[in-house]
Structure 1
Amino acid sequence: MKRNSEPMSEALKAELLALEAMPDEAIDTSNIASVTDWSGARRGMLYRPIKQQLSLRLDADVVAWFKGAGDGYHTRINRALREYVERYSKRA
């Protein structure tokens, strides 16, 4: 996930602190449109599983294949392993 590299200004920090201090009933939400179409929604987009760092030896050709698609190869390897676990967990 890419993060904003610019630090927050003091004015923005002050505004966020003021909003945080407001009680919920003091926030005017009357100009926010209601969402009626959830067809594009995706479940689990904010879920962040706990990661565990480890050292793992993989065949060089396997690593080269994942690296060949560019940055994010760790994520692709994790995704492939998760698919394997899900597929074979259903059989048990």
Structure 2
Amino acid sequence: MRNHDTLPDRLQRELDALDRMPDADIDTTDVPEVAEGSAGRRGVFYRPVKRQVTIRLDADVLDWFQASGRRHYQTRINAALRSYIDAHSE
């Protein structure tokens, strides 16, 4: 199974060999256990696609976000909206 056209042949052969190996034969004894949800952080490896939009906010809401931190007020607005979604999703 070819994963990527730009991989050197040696790495591709190694990946193919791992792909054919049954999961039970993979040695994971050196991998530390991680408790479910422990130290999980959003966005460390995955970065969601961002889209630029124009949105009208009440002046006091925007002022609060801009005043509550020196920078990154848009990131904090996004986090507040995501928190709302998480709280109101089924």
TM-score calculated relative to the size of structure 2: 0.55
| Residue type at the aligned position of 2:10 | P
- Displacement of 1:52: 1.4
Q: Count the aligned residue pairs.
A: 63
Q: Indicate the residue corresponding to 1:60 in structure 2.
A: 59
Matched, 1:71 2:67: no
TM-score calculated relative to the size of structure 1: 0.54
Separation in 1, partners of 2:66, 2:78: 13
**RCO higher in structure (CA 8 A, sep ≥6):** 2
CA root-mean-square deviation: 2.3
For residues 1-92 of structure 1, the aligned pairs below 5 Å read 21=8, 23-24=10-11, 34-36=30-32, 38=34, 42=40, 44=42, 45-68=44-67, 69-90=69-90
Question: Unpaired segments of 5 or more residues in structure 1?
Answer: 1-19, 26-33
Identity of aligned residues (%): 43
Question: Unpaired segments of 5 or more residues in structure 2?
Answer: 1-6, 15-29
- Alpha-carbon distance change, 59 to 43 in structure 1, aligned in 2, over 3 angstroms: closer
